[in-house]
Amino acid sequence: MHLLIMGPPGAGKGTQAVRIAEHYQIPAISTGDMFRAMRGLDTPLARQVQEIMASGAYVPNDVTNQVVADRLLADDCARGFLLDGYPRTLPQVDYLDGVLDEGARSIDAVISLAVDPDELVGRLIKRGASSGREDDTPEAIRTRQQVYIDETAPLLDVYRQRGVLVEVDGLGEVDVVTKRLFTALDERAGSGSALVGGTS
Ligand code: B4P
């Protein structure tokens, strides 16, 4: 089972990824979480990543690709994985294609969580107040939304053309969105795709 979850900043990728991963018994791999985990490290790369994230920009493709490639080598990825927030650019799509080809693997489904931009600003400002995340300030949120439109939104067409895109409305209670998401994945499995059922 090889899944991706995409969506604009604050769409709930991380929130839903944990639930999907538990359901299918695969690891949820969040590039955002991996970069945030570098925060305490006193290295030039860690400092560069922290500065970029705080501004709302994307971490360079070569750094991001390497971090993901290393992570996908871990034993827990043998049965599959859910990538949360990767790929986010066309060069990342190409790189991931290469990594998957090498291991004779392919993407089963790409979940796209769609939410109105105004709702997202509210969610992120609320999260910023409790998490203290440096990129949840109004200025960084605006940058993140624009970078998403410019660099990541075009990826939806790439995966739509490949016939693997599963579009889900991300507005509403977290549990309601989760239910919608599993219904959409089940429908895809029912239509003869490579998806198989989870544990519950
Ligand atoms: P991420 O960590 O992926 O952050 P995100 O887009 O803000 O979060 P997500 O959509 O997961 O929202 P969440 O579930 O937390 O990326 C952060 C940064 O890392 C990027 O800006 C970039 O700098 C860097 N980065 C990561 N991947 C990269 C890549 N591939 N290439 C380059 N750079 C990369 O939900 C948000 C909030 O909404 C939470 O408070 C949550 O509780 C709430 N929420 C969730 N679902 C809700 C619902 N249904 N209703 C109401 N609230 C909800």
**Catalytic positions, written as ranges:** 13, 88, 127, 133, 144
Mutate to test the pocket of ligand 1, among 59, 94, 143 (most ligand atoms within 8 A of CB): 59
Q: How confident is the model at residue 110 (pLDDT cuts 50, 70, 90)?
A: very high
| Model pTM score | 0.92
Mean pLDDT of 99-126: 93
State how far the alpha carbon of 115 is from the alpha carbons of 83, 105, 124, 167, 170, in Å.
19, 30, 13, 11, 5
CA of 192 to the centre of ligand 1 (A): 31
- Ligand 1, closest atom to CA 15? 14
Pocket test for ligand 1, best of 123, 137, 171, 176 (most atoms within 8 A of CB): 123
Q: Confidence class of residue 198 from pLDDT cuts 50, 70 and 90?
A: low
Evaluate: CB of 28 within 6 angstroms of ligand 1: no
